[in-house]
Amino acid sequence: MAGLAARWAQEGRAVGFVPTMGALHSGHASLIRRARDENERLVVSLFVNPLQFGPGEDFSLYPRTFPADRRLCAQSRVDVLYRPSVEQVYPPGFKTEVEVPELSGLLCGRFRPGHFKGVATVVLKLLETTRPSRAYFGEKDFQQLVIIKKMVKDLNVAVSIIGCPTIRDGDGLALSSRNRYLSAWQRSYAPMLYAALLRASKAARLGGSPGPLIGKIRREILKMPEVSIDYVEIVNSETLGKAPVLRGSLRLLAAVRVARTRLIDNIALSC
Ligand code: AMP
């Protein structure tokens, strides 16, 4: 991969890059489509990154669907499907970690210690290997997108980070490789999460203090069976700091667990 990336750089090619953990769905496909449209060359990586899973998380269970992923990439005219091994990414003796501490301890970071350090480390390595002009990330993982943008800015990495909208099923549930962990029964009510966020985004237009609105969202989410809430927060879209009032460009983010499956979602608020 590195040799090819060097050649493309020499030829002055615009290279698009979409990092993924595989088990590709229409959310990934939308990033791939956009990257295909905007670049001369396109690299998609498939790498289930052990560094971003905590002990007891789903690293070994994480869905791996390589034949279907390869088909989707071929249909989407991906030039290179980069699928490194764990040993290639983290050879024996690998020690370096990359972190944006201010941002990585918030929101999901409170419940998944070390997760965003694993994400930032692997993304920087993948960017160094693939040398893209543009890299595409989903707003579905909003905190991840903010962290990657900050890392790239702070470390002068010469790449544009492009955020892409969340793709949802017809009933509103954000597509995720982890949705396949849900039983048919759990899947039937999982869209209640997005429905609560959507209602709140309308209510937020009235302004005021975030507290009562967050309370209302929590009560709606708790109507789902087998649910527990990791967090519901309204934050500044860039700093991820808690918003004291409903004013400006804010983001409402939530993480919940339906039995053992963790669902995350978020929505822009303009108040
Ligand atoms: P993952 O394979 O889950 O690590 O995701 C790879 C990329 O796809 C990340 O940038 C995600 O934010 C993005 N992505 C995942 N699900 C969606 C979705 N439903 N809509 C848009 N982008 C998504």
Residues 151-181 have pLDDT tens digits of 999 999 999 999 999 999 999 999 999 999 9
User: What percentage of residues in the chain have a pLDDT greater than 90?
Assistant: 99
Residues 74-86 have pLDDT tens digits of 999 999 999 999 9
CB of 173 shorter than 6 A to ligand 1: no
Rounded-to-integer distance, Cα 109 and Cα 242, Å = 14
What strands, in cross-sheet order, belong to the sheet with 80-82?
Answer: 80-82, 41-46, 15-20, 134-138, 160-164
The mean pLDDT value for 259-270 works out to 96
Judge contact between 266 and 197, C-beta under 8 A. Answer: yes
CB of 49 shorter than 6 A to ligand 1: no
Q: What is the DSSP letter of 242?
A: B
pLDDT value at position 270?
85
Residue 237 has pLDDT above 90, yes or no: yes
State yes or no: is 25 an active-site residue: no
Residues 195-214 have pLDDT tens digits of 999 999 999 999 999 999 99
The mean pLDDT value for 27-52 works out to 98
CB of 166 shorter than 6 A to ligand 1: yes
pLDDT value at position 155?
98
